[in-house]
Every structure is written in C-alpha cells, then in structure tokens.
C-alpha cells in the first residue's frame, strides 16, 4: 500500500471515529427539561407543594396545555389585523369587527388561563394557593396585547 492510500484510510478512520463519538454523545446525554417542566419545578419549590398535590397539578397542567395549544392555533387562524395583514384581502369583515373577534378570542384564552390558575391554587395548601394567585394573577389578567385591543374596540351603544 502506498503512503497516500494509508493516509486516506487513516483520515477516513478518524472521521468515522469522530462521527461515531458524536452520535454516542448525542444519544447518551441527558435531555434538557422543557420550559413547562422548569415551570412546574419552580412552582413546587416556590410554593412548597406536597408530592401528591404536585402530581395532580402536573396532570392538570398537561390537560391545560393541550387546550392552550388549541387556543393558540385558533388565535393563529384568526384574522389578526393588529399583528398581521389579512391573508384574504377581499375580506368583507370590517376592521372593527375583526378587532372585536380578536378581542373575544384573546378574552376566551385569558378566561381559560385564569380558571386554570385557580384550579392549580385549589390543589395547593390554602395559604400557598392564595399567595400563588396573589403573585400570578396580576401578571396575566391585563396582558399588554389585550389592553391594546380593549382601547381600540369601542363598546356597542
């Protein structure tokens, strides 16, 4: 075998070894926690939730996030004049009606979120549940997006 062939096979062996090592490391490393898992762990630590209640809250969160994903898809499909141009320029819907529809979708999402938070608080020890609602509800009740919609939609007379 000539020196070029030996160098070629050595280079090929090094490349294959590096690729194999890369794949082994990728498959054996721990999977980082998702933002939802991080949030649940924070909730457990911050509010000192007992294991039994934590498991119920985790199950409740799982169900809620399925509904949440559905609501997000509904919001994405909605005509959202404040965020994106209409996909159908010949739409017969007036801007005011589109804003009202978008406001209704956002308010429905908000109502579902508030109810979910109240359900979570009900599973916590009462003092911790009250503190949780006191800490969290002000952050979610008046999101800037909904405040903007409320200021642009005039009430019906």
Residues 4 and 81 in one domain: no
pTM: 0.63
According to the model, what pLDDT value does residue 106 have? Answer: 79
Of 87, 109, 106, the residue nearest 153 (C-alpha): 106
Q: Does residue 76 lie within any of the structural domains?
A: yes
Q: CA torsion, points 121, 127, 130, 136, in degrees to nearest 10?
A: -80
Residues 38 and 53 in one domain: yes
| Location of structure tokens 């559905």 | 70
Q: Which residues contact 50 (CB under 8 A, 6 or more apart)?
A: 125
According to the model, what pLDDT value does residue 19 have? Answer: 95
Residues 26 and 39 in one domain: no
For residue 14, what are the domain limits? Answer: 1-30
According to the model, what pLDDT value does residue 139 have? Answer: 79
Tokens describing residue 92? 């017969």
Of 121, 137, 106, the residue nearest 61 (C-alpha): 121
According to the model, what pLDDT value does residue 140 have? Answer: 81
Residues 61 and 137 in one domain: yes
Residues 24 and 65 in one domain: no
According to the model, what pLDDT value does residue 85 have? Answer: 47
Residues 21 and 50 in one domain: no
Residues 106 and 118 in one domain: yes
Residues 148 and 134 in one domain: yes
Residues of the chain with pLDDT under 50: 82-87, 156-157
Of 29, 54, 30, the residue nearest 42 (C-alpha): 54
Tokens describing residue 110? 């908000």
Residues 38 and 26 in one domain: no
Cβ atoms within 10 Å of 157's Cβ, excluding its own? 3
| Location of structure tokens 């004049």 | 81
Of 19, 131, 115, 139, the residue nearest 64 (C-alpha): 115
């Amino acid at each position: 075998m000539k020196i070029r062939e030996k160098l070629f096979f050595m280079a090929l062996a090094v490349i294959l070894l590096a690729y194999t090592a890369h794949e082994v490391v990728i498959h054996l490393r721990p999977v980082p926690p998702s933002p939802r898992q991080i949030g649940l762990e924070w909730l457990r630590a911050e509010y000192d939730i007992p294991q039994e209640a934590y498991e119920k809250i985790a199950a409740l969160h799982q169900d809620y996030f399925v509904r949440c994903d559905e609501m997000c898809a509904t919001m994405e499909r909605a005509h959202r004049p404040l965020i994106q141009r209409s996909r159908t320029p010949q739409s017969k819907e007036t801007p005011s009606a589109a804003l009202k529809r978008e406001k209704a979708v956002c308010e429905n999402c908000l109502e579902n979120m508030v109810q979910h938070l109240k359900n979570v608080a009900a599973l916590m020890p009462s003092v911790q549940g009250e503190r949780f609602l006191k800490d969290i509800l002000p952050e979610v009740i008046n999101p800037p997006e909904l405040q903007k919609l409320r200021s642009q939609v005039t009430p019906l007379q």
